[in-house]
C-alpha cells in the first residue's frame, strides 16, 4: 500500500509540474507577442490659417438687356440685321411700312398752308377795319372781330405744326435703331408680318461685361463682412465645370434680408473678354474665405463608424485610442476639426486599417508639414 501511495503521489507531482510548465510557456509566448510592436507614423495636428472656397448658385445677366418693341402699327418692310449678329449704337435694324405716316405729313402740311392763307386774309381785314374805324365808317366792334379771326387762324397754324411734328415722330418710329451696341437676339416676326403697337420685335444684349447675382445666407454674409472686407474678388465656375479666366468684383449687396429665405443678394461684375457668357446663363460663384487658427488633419488619418468620424490617438504609453472628432468642413485632402483634437495630440497618420484600439505601437513622430501641406478646397 505504501508503494502504491508513493507511485500515486509521484504521478500527481508530474501532472502538476507539467501543467505549471504549460502555463509558464503560454505566459512567455503572450509576453513575447506583447513585446513585438510595429512602427507607425504619427503626427501632431497643425494650427494654421487656411483658405477655403465656398460655392453659390449664380444667375448671369448682361449689363444691358432690353426688348425692342414697335411704337406704331405697321408691316415689317425690311430687316437689316440677323439673329445673333453684333450691331452698333444707332444702327438701323427694322423698317416698317411708312406710307400712312407720310400721307399724314402731307395732309398736315396742306392744313398748314390753308391756315397761313387765312392768316394773310385776316391781316388784310384787320388793316381795312382799322382804317374804317379811324374814319368812323364802321364801329370798333368790326375791328375786334377781325382781330379775333386772326387769333383763330394762328391757333390753326399751331395745330397744323403740331400735327406735322406728330406725323414726323410717327414716321421716325417706323425705323427701329439699336439703342446701344450689342448682340441681337431672336427675331420672332419676319418681313411682311403685321406688327401691332407694342409688339416685340427683338431684344438686344450688351455682353461686354456681365452681372452675376447670387444669394448668401445671413451667417455667410456676416463671415464675409468680418473676414473679407478688403477681398471682394470672386471667381465664376461655368455650367461645364470650367473656371472663367477673368476674375470678378463684388460691387453691391442688397440692403435687406429676404424674410422668406433668410438670404441676402450679392452682385458681382465680370469682364466677358472671350464672349463665353450670355444673358441668362448659369454658373457658380466661388468665394474665398479664411479660417483663422484652424486645426487641420489629413483625411487618410480618419475613418467612419456609423456616420461618425474617428481618428486613432497614441497616448503616453504608446497605446492606440479611438477618438471621435467633429469636423467643421472638408477641404481638398484635409479635415478642419471643430472638436475632439488639440495641437498636442499624436494622431496615427498611416496604418489606420491595421490597428485597433488598445494596440501597443512604436510611434514615429513626423512633422506635419513634411507629410502634407494645408491645401485649398478644390
Tell me: the pLDDT tens digits for 235-283? 999 999 999 999 999 999 998 999 999 999 999 999 999 899 999 999 9
pLDDT, the chain, mean: 84
Compute and round to an integer the Cα radius of gyration of the chain: 46
**Residue for cell digits 468642413?**
329
Closest C-alpha among 283, 286, 287 to residue 59? 283
Instruction: Compute the average pLDDT of residues 51-55.
Output: 84
Write down the pLDDT at residue 278.
93
Closest C-alpha among 72, 42, 273 to residue 175? 72
Q: Which residue has the higher pLDDT, 52 or 188?
A: 188
Residue 186 has pLDDT above 80, yes or no: yes
**Residue for cell digits 508513493?**
6
Please compute, for residue 345, the number of CA atoms within 13 A of its CA located in the half-sphere on the CB side. Answer: 23
* Reduced 3-state DSSP string for the chain: CHHHHHHHHHHHHHHHHHHHHHHHHHHHHHHHHHHCCCEEEEECCEEEEEEEEEEEEEEEEEEEEEEEECCCCEEEEEECCCCCCEECCCCEEEEECCHHHHHHHHHHHHHHHHHHHHHHHHHHHHHHHHHHHHCCCCCHHHHHHHHHHHHHHHHHHHHHHHHHHHHHHHHHHCEEECCCCEEECCCCCCCCCEECCCCEEEEEEEEEEEEEEEEEEHHHHHHHHHHCCCCCEEEEEECCCCECCCCEEEEEECCCCCCCCCEEEEEEEEECCCCCCCCCCEEEEEEEEEEEEEEEEEHHHEEEECCEEEEEEECCCCEEEEEEEEEEEECCCEEEEEECCCCCCCEECCCCCCCCCCCECEEEEECHHHHCCCCCCC
CA 298 vs CA 2, 334, 351: distances in Å? 77, 4, 13
> Which pLDDT band, with edges at 50, 70 and 90, does 371 fall under?
low
Residue 291 has pLDDT above 90, yes or no: no
For 136, phi and psi rounded to 5 degrees?
60, 30
Write down the pLDDT at residue 30.
44
Give the bridge partners for 301, in sequence order. Answer: none
Q: Which residues contact 116 (CB under 8 A, 6 or more apart)?
A: 157
Write down the pLDDT at residue 22.
52
Residue 374 has pLDDT above 50, yes or no: no
Look at strands 39-43 and 362-366 and give their pairing. Answer: parallel
Query: How much of the chain, in percent, has pLDDT values that exceed 90?
Result: 42
Domains of the chain and CATH, by start: 39-49+293-371 (2.40.420.20), 54-62+207-291 (2.40.30.170), 71-97+174-198 (2.40.50.100), 99-173 (1.10.287)
> Which pLDDT band, with edges at 50, 70 and 90, does 310 fall under?
very high
Write down the pLDDT at residue 220.
86
Please compute, for residue 280, the number of CA atoms within 13 A of its CA located in the half-sphere on the CB side. Answer: 6
Write down the pLDDT at residue 176.
94
Residue 1 has pLDDT above 60, yes or no: no
Residue 298 has pLDDT above 60, yes or no: yes
Residue 216 has pLDDT above 60, yes or no: yes
Closest C-alpha among 73, 74, 68, 92 to residue 187? 68
56-113 pLDDT, tens digit per residue, is 999 999 999 999 999 999 999 999 999 999 999 999 999 998 888 888 888 888 888 8
In this prediction the pTM is 0.65
Residue 16 has pLDDT above 60, yes or no: no
The answer to whether 116 and 164 are in contact (CB under 8 A) is no
Write down the pLDDT at residue 209.
95
Write down the pLDDT at residue 9.
52
Residue 149 has pLDDT above 60, yes or no: yes
Look at strands 248-253 and 86-87 and give their pairing. Answer: unpaired
Amino acid at each position: 500500500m505504501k508503494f502504491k501511495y508513493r507511485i500515486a503521489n509521484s504521478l500527481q507531482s508530474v501532472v502538476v509540474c507539467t501543467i505549471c510548465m504549460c502555463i509558464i510557456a503560454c505566459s512567455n509566448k503572450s509576453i513575447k507577442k506583447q513585446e513585438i510592436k510595429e512602427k507607425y507614423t504619427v503626427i501632431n495636428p497643425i494650427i494654421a490659417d487656411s483658405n477655403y472656397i465656398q460655392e453659390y448658385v449664380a444667375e448671369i445677366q448682361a449689363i444691358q438687356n432690353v426688348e425692342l418693341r414697335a411704337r406704331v402699327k405697321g408691316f415689317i418692310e425690311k430687316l437689316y440685321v440677323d439673329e445673333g449678329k453684333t450691331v452698333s449704337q444707332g444702327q438701323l435694324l427694322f423698317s416698317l411700312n411708312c406710307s400712312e405716316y407720310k400721307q399724314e405729313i402731307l395732309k398736315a402740311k396742306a392744313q398748314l398752308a390753308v391756315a397761313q392763307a387765312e392768316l394773310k386774309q385776316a391781316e388784310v381785314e384787320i388793316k381795312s377795319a382799322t382804317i374804317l374805324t379811324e374814319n368812323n365808317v364802321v364801329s370798333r366792334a368790326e375791328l375786334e372781330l377781325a382781330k379775333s379771326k386772326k387769333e383763330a387762324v394762328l391757333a390753326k397754324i399751331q395745330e397744323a405744326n403740331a400735327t406735322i411734328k406728330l406725323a414726323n415722330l410717327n414716321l421716325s418710329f417706323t425705323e427701329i435703331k439699336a439703342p446701344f451696341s450689342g448682340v441681337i437676339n431672336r427675331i420672332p416676326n419676319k418681313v411682311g408680318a403685321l406688327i401691332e403697337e407694342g409688339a416685340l420685335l427683338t431684344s438686344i444684349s450688351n455682353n461686354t461685361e456681365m452681372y452675376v447675382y447670387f444669394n448668401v445666407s445671413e451667417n455667410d454674409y456676416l463671415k464675409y463682412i468680418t473676414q473679407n472686407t478688403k477681398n471682394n474678388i470672386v471667381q465664376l465656375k461655368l455650367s461645364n465645370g470650367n473656371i472663367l479666366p477673368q476674375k470678378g468684383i463684388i460691387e453691391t449687396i442688397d440692403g435687406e434680408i429676404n424674410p422668406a429665405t433668410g438670404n441676402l443678394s450679392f452682385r458681382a461684375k465680370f469682364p466677358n473678354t472671350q464672349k463665353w457668357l450670355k444673358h441668362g446663363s448659369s454658373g457658380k460663384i466661388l468665394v474665398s474665405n479664411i479660417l483663422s487658427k484652424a486645426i487641420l488633419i489629413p483625411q487618410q488619418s480618419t475613418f467612419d463608424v456609423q456616420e461618425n468620424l474617428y481618428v486613432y490617438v497614441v497616448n503616453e504609453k504608446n497605446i492606440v485610442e479611438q477618438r471621435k472628432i467633429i469636423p467643421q468642413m472638408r477641404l481638398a485632402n484635409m479635415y478642419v476639426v471643430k472638436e475632439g483634437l488639440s495641437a498636442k495630440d499624436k494622431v496615427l497618420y498611416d496604418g489606420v486599417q491595421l490597428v485597433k484600439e488598445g494596440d501597443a505601437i512604436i510611434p514615429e513622430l513626423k512633422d506635419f508639414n513634411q507629410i502634407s501641406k494645408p491645401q485649398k478646397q478644390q
